[in-house]
């Protein structure tokens, strides 16, 4: 176990649905990340939160809306998704130290299918 | 555009074989190179974080080397076992304020008993 949990593990939704992915880290870290992995592609960074503030938005469409209410929890709110958004969504966390290499710890991911 | 390449894409070996994979990354703005092991339906698990040119790290039967001047890292597995079957990811870390990692597509290793 990496100390990062994600729910649900699998999600099937229609294009008009609204759903949320949840991530929780039990490591005392201060930075959290959302990644997307589509088939045959590398992990792509979507969002970065550091000290509960969004510090990176990697040109992600507005139908993906992240929320970080505290340093242990991260959500990804989904609405009016497209079938091409079907992918594995991974959450990660790290302890953000200036000047030091920060190792990221990953959750197991949510497999999302958009019909 | 920063690009990280891993080869081969997949590898099938017999139990007991030794094997190695390559990760190529930009040779400029290097901060660190991360290796992860990712079993199906589980979380990617950190194997090594490498920062110095010429670094060699070892964990059991798995070891890794780093050449930052030419931009590559090798991962070696000695005497592969079926439980080594997984996707091995490398990620290029160029530092910066937000700890962004640029991932390769991974090498899928299947070890047959």
Q: Is A104 on the interface with B (CB under 8 A)?
A: yes
CA proximity to B55, closest of B38, B36, B29, B35 = B35
Q: Is A15 on the interface with B (CB under 8 A)?
A: no
Q: What is the pLDDT of residues B72-104, one digit of tens each?
A: 999 999 999 999 999 999 999 987 766 789 999
Residues B53 and A5: their CA atoms lie apart, in Å, by 34
- The whole-number pLDDT of residue A4 equals 97
Q: What string of pLDDT tens digits covers the 115 residues of chain A?
A: 789 999 999 999 999 889 999 999 999 999 999 999 998 899 999 999 988 888 877 789 999 999 999 999 999 999 999 999 999 999 999 987 666 788 899 999 999 999 9
Q: Is B13 on the interface with A (CB under 8 A)?
A: no
Q: Would you say how long chain A is, in residues? A: 115
CA proximity to A68, closest of A57, A82, A79, A59 = A57
Q: Closest Cα of chain B to A50: distance in Å?
A: 8
B100 vs A45, A96, A107: nearest CB: A45
Percentage of chain B exceeding pLDDT 90: 86
Q: What is the pLDDT of residues B59-72, one digit of tens each?
A: 999 999 999 999 99
CB atoms B103 and A48 under 8 Å: no
- The whole-number pLDDT of residue A32 equals 94
- Average pLDDT of the segment spanning B30-53: 95
CA proximity to A103, closest of B51, B27, B54 = B51
């Amino acid at each position: 176990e990496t100390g990062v949990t994600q729910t649900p593990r699998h999600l099937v939704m229609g294009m008009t649905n609204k759903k949320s992915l949840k991530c929780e880290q039990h490591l005392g870290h201060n930075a959290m990340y959302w990644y997307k992995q589509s088939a045959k592609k590398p992990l792509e960074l979507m969002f970065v939160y550091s000290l509960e503030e969004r510090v990176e938005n990697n040109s992600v469409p507005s139908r993906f809306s992240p929320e970080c209410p505290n340093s242990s929890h991260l959500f990804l709110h989904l609405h009016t998704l497209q079938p091409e958004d079907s992918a594995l969504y991974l959450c990660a966390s790290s302890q953000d130290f200036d000047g030091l290499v920060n190792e990221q710890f990953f959750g197991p991911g949510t497999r999302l299918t958009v019909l | 555009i920063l690009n990280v390449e891993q080869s081969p894409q997949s590898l099938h070996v017999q139990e007991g074989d030794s094997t190695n994979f390559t990760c190529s990354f930009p040779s400029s703005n290097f901060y660190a190179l991360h290796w992860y092991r990712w079993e199906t339906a589980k979380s990617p698990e950190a194997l090594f974080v490498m920062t110095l040119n010429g670094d060699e790290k070892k964990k059991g039967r798995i070891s890794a080397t780093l050449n930052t001047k030419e931009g590559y890292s090798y991962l070696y597995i000695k005497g592969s076992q079926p439980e080594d079957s997984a996707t091995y990811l490398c990620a290029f870390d160029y530092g910066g304020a937000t700890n962004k990692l640029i991932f390769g597509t991974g090498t899928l290793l299947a070890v047959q008993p």
